[in-house]
Structure 1
Amino acid sequence: MSFTVLRRSLVSSSLRSTRLIAPAPLLLRRSVASSVSNRPASQAFDHAATNIKEETGNLAADVAKTIAGSNMTTQLASSLKEDTFVGLTKANLAAVPKPAMIVGLAGGIPYIGASGMTVYLAHQAGLVATGASTMDPGLALTYFDQALTFQVAYGAVMLSFLGAMHWGMEFAGLGGKQGLKRLALGASPILLAIPTLSFEPMTALTVQWLGFTALWYADARATSFGWTPKWYGQYRFYLSILVGTCILGSLFGTSYYGPVAGHGFLTHELNEIRQERRDLIKEQELPANENVKAVRQKAGEPGFVVLSRKQTEEKQ
């Protein structure tokens, strides 16, 4: 009897062990998720190109949604033929009222002109500094400085105006009364813009570029919160791109074309003074002396006249 019980217990334990061990091969087989596992994501170059194109399109569409403040209406989203960057951008731009777009772009025209004039006058100042232009150095520097000053002043006005837009929306109750939060957002740009009027022009342009970029981000967030019209984030993005491009163009153009170390206005003026002295010396005859010999130096050599003793030369 005891033998029979012992045999049954051994068989039972053996079956339990078999149940624990048997599923192991099944688990190994299930680790293969599909028939194409452990293969490259793209089977051929054409397939890879298609994947890259699709991923790029999806990324561009996400960028367009971010630009729009991720605040597209259901009606606008349903009217899209393609969920692409171009389709989303066109749909958002179509939602912007034409008067707002026209006036906004017209307000940027003087800034574009100021940026172009700054680069042109920087080029002229660089030519004067190297002696390639006959313009008076003082006049070239004055014109260049006035162009930079105008661009900085106009940029400060635009930055302040964009902040004041939020005060108008608060007074109109657009998106509900937000109180101190929206009023503080509207006052921040002018607190940044006014001090730049006392900065050196290149520093002022850099600070204003940072201000325009930060304000666009704040406007995009305000659009997503419902504080502004649905199209405001998209509208502000392209105006910020316009202004930011002008600022970067002025900074790079001035650095590239403007006077640089070793070819500044002081170096140019010193070279002109030296040349005038040489011209005056050429017009005068050197004094004759029995013991001293005077020899004019050639252009580019240090000094103007070399004096030497005749007796020393004769002995040598």
Structure 2
Amino acid sequence: MNSATSNFEVDATGVSPKQLDGLIPSLKLADGNEVPMLGYGLGTANYKSGSAGDAISEPIVTATLTALKAGYTHLDGAEVYGNEVELGKAIEQSRLPRSSLFITTKTIVHAGDTVTQSFNRSLEKLGLDYVDLYLLHSPFFAKTPEELHQAWREMEKIKDSGMAKSIGVSNFLISHLQTLFEIPGGFVYPPVVNQIEYHPYLQHVVEGEDLIAYCREKNIAIQAYSPLTAITNASPGPVDPIYTKLAKKYGVSEAEVALRWCLDQGIVTLTTSSNEERLKGYLKKLPSFKLTPKEVEDIAAAGKEKHHRVWWTENFDANDRR
């Protein structure tokens, strides 16, 4: 898998959507498509529960527009977030060319539903003719290998239709990927992305198994969600003093150090905020520095001293670091 090797660049004029292509490197996926390495995620701060019904949440539309105006063209959504309509309205209201955007959505694959039905609903809610990336949101819906294989065959047909430029998975561990790779007859299109919770306290390394290394061996790009967990959900912890030291060294925030740690590993990184200045700050500051290989390793080593998982905890034992 090719990784983005060009560094960010920034000038004194700041950041605008028109400048974005020159600032954020893209990662070339195994299928030849490219994804901006920094994206705006709608899954945490902008989650809309089912109790909200069909009413449009203007705050979610506004927050997403804020991200677009700040310069983010990589937007990550999902059917289960309940806000695809709001994402679509923000895209429409931004008046940015569709070709300048990279849009992701995901299917949770509910019982009695099909991937195709889910995908068609998503496109309708988004008001789009296609998405750039479509993901199986998790492997946990599949009770048998056959169910997983059937879902992937539907994913392949969606890619064949051109309505999803790339297809991949999310929250898949090595065992799930191994099952997927046993699909009878082999892939028409293999997954090119695995989107996972990733931060220093969840590096997916256990008993000689390394999920990141496995994905790279299989030409599957990693996307990280919840990269700021060590700051927002798991502080105090052993990485705190390292973040503080590096933030002072580079003149940036601790959050920017945390994001840079992922980017410097060639990992596509998703973040979220409703604060326009903070979002702009990420685009301005992240290009201005790069961690050394030793600093990346120091954070990783300290992170392994603690375990903290934010999402999908019902599927894992408390100390399961996979």
Q: Specify the TM-score bucket, using the shorter chain as the normaliser.
A: under 0.3
TM-score by length of 2: 0.20
- Which structure shows the bigger proportion of residues in strand conformation? 2
TM-score by length of 1: 0.20
Which of the pair has more CA radius of gyration? Answer: 1
- Which structure shows the bigger proportion of residues in helix conformation? 1
